[in-house]
Structure 1
Amino acid sequence: MKSMMYFLIILIFIASCVSNPLPPSFPKCNRKQADFDDCFSKAVADTISQLKQAYPKVGIPSLNPLVIPEVTIGAGTSAVQFTQNFKNIKITKLTDFTSLKAKMNFDKKVLYIEAEYPEINFDFEYDIDGKILMLPITGKGPGLMHTEQILLKLTFNLEESNNHYKVVQTKAIYDKIGHFTIHFDNLFNGDKVLGDNVNNVINENWKDVLVDVKGGYEDAGAAVFHSIFNNLLAQVTISEIFAVDKQVVNRKKCLCQSTILCLLRSSNMVPILVVLFIGSCLSTPLRTSKYFLKNLAEQNFPASSFPKCNRKQADFNDCLSNAVAVTFRQLKQPHPEVGLPNFEPLTLPQVNIAAGTTAVHFSQNFKNVKANKLTEFSSLKAKMDFDTNILNLEIYYPELSFTFDYDVDGKILVLPIKGHGTGSMANKNTLVAITYHLEEKNNHYKVVNTEMMYTKMENFHINFDNLFDGDKALSDNVNNVINENWRDVFNDVKSGYEEAGAKVAESVFSSLLSKVTASELFGEP
């Protein structure tokens, strides 16, 4: 939706710069004037304020209301588990912003717009069927949404050819939204009790809903505005958009700027829809993956039982995969001479993970973490690209298990959770992909960046002992809800676990690389 706003704004901007077709009331600015950005901002604001009516001759629609025939948004990943089908959308208050800033960077060909709205309203027809916040939701009929205190930021990346601009990329950020309420009429075939209950739950947890669907709305809006703005740019030359004559026009005459503002308002409407969509993610075994990398490096180390491969052999990657696998399986005991710890179990003194954005609303503080079954993978592939200095690992585990001491206090899946004690987690059929970006200097490798993806996990089960000061009924209920909705929990904290694990793995692998030369690892180049 934000992208759509961007496009509308840009369309207006371009149209206003076209001296002949643009309405004379649209201000215009000269790119050579010293106060161009100020003039441009005021011009865009002035233009958008005039869009309470349409200007069909220059392809600019009315922004009060802005009418969108149809929008389809895919399901979210946690709170919103249904496809959103909206028709006959009418957005109002897009011309009623309280502040607007516009800036054009002619060297980089980037247009920036930032607009703040006290409120934006949406009316629509909907057709939905799925789950929201773990509750079933189904129905079709009219609906409305009211949003407050919205800050919309748009960025258009342009390219120039034959005196015309073209949008090559559009980004929209719903930087702030103070509050929103939504109401779906006629849910559950008109059952008022059920309908009111679901609407109330949505509005009580509006931030969770908002976070889960932002990305989908941004993508939809971007596609709409990209198309509209490019269509307008194809009809208007750069010279018409930004005057280049010697005369510096008065700010009140900044035709081009006002045009952009009009478009901005239209884009604001998009960001509001965007507010409904945001996504999240999560993953736990990153540390494991980094230790795997260390093992790879150690294949050529002094430990005599570690296999070694030469980079010049034709089957090097097959040899490397086998060598890493053999080395890994030997880590049921530590190898202090090369700095490799015991992997059965792999012990981490402390791990702190920040709160998620949807399902997990608390910081996770774990101590005495022990990871088991890291040497019991069913397949392992390793590949080293010596041209790019990138090492890739892919490891498949039938099962991984973890024990830990925990201390948590917050909310999970809309439920309160509080306690400290021992806990355990088991993951099944897990595929871990690890990428190490290396640099070579003085016959030594160094890790400059590490990426880890939890590309597959079929199930995980977690249990927190002693929740709520040992209240078994409450503890069992919360643990059951978490495990019944494990995908939502998993997706919300993946990135936090990946970052924490990457730091641990990088520290260990870097320590090992500092002791072993590149020649010892992979033979002479």
Structure 2
Amino acid sequence: MNCVWMILLCACFVTVQSDKFPGSIKRCHLKDSNLDDCLTEGIQKTYELLGKGPINAISLVGIEPILIDKVVIGAGTSAVHLDQHYENVKLHGFSKSKVSKVHMDWAKKTLEYETLSPLVTQKADYDLNGKIMVFPVYGKGESTIKLSDVTMEHAVKFKEETKGGKKYLIVDSYTLKININGAHYDFQNLFDGDKLLADNILTVINENWKEVFDDVRSGIEGAYSEVCKHIANGLFTHIPYNEIFLE
């Protein structure tokens, strides 16, 4: 789960002045027959660079951690009927992501790619209220969620817009499909600090992590897709696409 995939992608291409563009990031030509391979290499390199800190030349912050103000996930429909509110979110682990299956169709203005992150850790202030299985759950406090082998499939659809005689790409839709191979949840101060109740419900949650995650998967995908779309458009709407992509 994350919110900077399109920023990471854009960092592979964006240039305001060629002498300011980081020479360590590979630039790609739209008409290159090996465009997808080029994009894969460029995106991968950008993850590694942003894991070490910001790229000041193109005003991109580092990704260890990724900072998000707020994430809201609605209640699921079966096992997890739980409203989840997270604030001051910090995500660790995306700098270790491996990029694959990149494909851009310029005629259709679409981009698809996949990422695999061995371990993603989310730390945040939480507010939970609802039920997990038959057990009522509520609490506010600090939380840590660890997700193992996080695979994300990204599908982005652009549209073209002209402003001031210049052409821009706008992210029309952004969808994510997320799969994981394991999860561990820790919520401090559940049940207003009742440790016995908290320990019992956390055992249930962690023993049934797959059911818990599957039940809120669509909510997580929707929440992070919207964050990604918002961040991506913050960059694309300010830079003409002929300055993003080489022709």
Is the TM-score greater than 0.5? yes
Q: In the alignment, is the contact (CA less than 8 A) between 1:16 and 1:23 conserved in 2? A: no
Instruction: State the partner residue of 1:236.
Output: 239
User: What is the CA-CA distance between 1:93 and the residue it aligns to?
Assistant: 0.8
Amino acid at match of 1:12: L
Q: CA deviation at 1:59?
A: 4.3
Deviation, structure 1 residue 154: 0.2
> Within 1, Cα distance between the matches of 2:194 and 2:182?
27
1:9 match: 5
Change (3 A) 1:235 1:16: farther
What is the CA-CA distance between 1:95 and the residue it aligns to?
0.8
Moved more, 73-82 or 86-95: 73-82
Is 1:168 the equivalent of 2:185?
A: no
Contact 2:99 2:113 in 1 (8 A): no
User: Taking structure 1 as reference, are residues 221 and 59 closer, same or farther at Cα in structure 2, changes over 3 Å only?
Assistant: farther
Aligned mates of 1:129, 1:12 — CA distance in 2: 34
Residues 336-351 of structure 1 mapped to structure 2, 5 A cutoff: none
The question of 1:152 aligning with 2:179 is answered no
Aligned length: 239
Amino acid at match of 1:214: R
Aligned to 1:510: none
Q: Superposition pairs for residues 252-271 of structure 1, below 5 Å? A: none
Match of 2:43 in 1: 44
Counterparts of 1:154 and 1:238 in 2: how far apart (Å)? 20
Q: Who wins on radius of gyration, i.e. which is larger?
A: 1
Change (3 A) 1:98 1:228: closer
Q: Secondary structure at the match of 2:180?
A: strand
1:228–1:123 CA distance, 2 compared to 1 (3 A) = same
Residue identity matched to 2:40 = S
- What's the offset of the Cα at 1:33? 2.2
Q: Which of 11, 14, 17 is the equivalent residue of 1:18?
A: 14
1:114-151: CA deviation from partner (whole Å, max 9, x where unpaired): 01122111111111122111101121111111111221
- Asked if the contact 2:73/2:219 (under 8 Å) is kept, the reply is yes
Tell me which residue corresponds to 1:125: 125
User: What letter is aligned with 1:49?
Assistant: E
**TM-score, normalised by the number of residues in structure 2:** 0.90
Letter in 1 for 2:172: V
**Which amino acid in the other structure matches residue 81 of structure 2?**
Q
- For 1:104-115, what aligned pairs fall within 5 Å after superposition? 104-115=104-115
2:188 to 185, 188, 195: 185
Per-residue deviation, 1:102: 2.1
Identity rate, percent: 31
Contact 1:114/1:151 (CA < 8 Å) preserved in 2? yes
For 1:49-88, list aligned pairs within 5 A.
49-52=48-51, 53-55=53-55, 58-88=58-88
Shift of the alpha carbon at 1:15?
Answer: 4.2
Residue 112 of structure 2 aligns to a residue whose secondary structure is: strand
- Tell me which residue corresponds to 1:374: none
1:295-314 equivalences under 5 Å are none
**Structure 2 stretches lacking a partner, 5+ long:** none
Please report how far the alpha carbon of residue 11 of structure 1 lies from its aligned counterpart in structure 2 after TM superposition. 2.5
Separation in 2, partners of 1:210, 1:188:
21
What is the distance in 2 between the residues matched to 1:9 and 1:177?
A: 18
What do you get for the CA RMSD once the two structures are aligned? 1.8
Distance of aligned partners of 1:63 and 1:150 in 2 relative to their CA distance in 1, 3 Å threshold: same
The answer to whether the 8 Å contact 1:18/1:237 transfers is: no
- CA distance 1:99–1:13, change in 2 (3 Å): closer
1:147-174 Cα distance to aligned partner (Å, 9 max, x none): 1122110000011233211111111111
In the superposition, the TM-score normalised over structure 1's length comes to 0.44
Q: Which amino acid aligns with 1:94?
A: F
Residues 278-317 of structure 1 correspond to what in structure 2 (within 5 A)? Answer: none
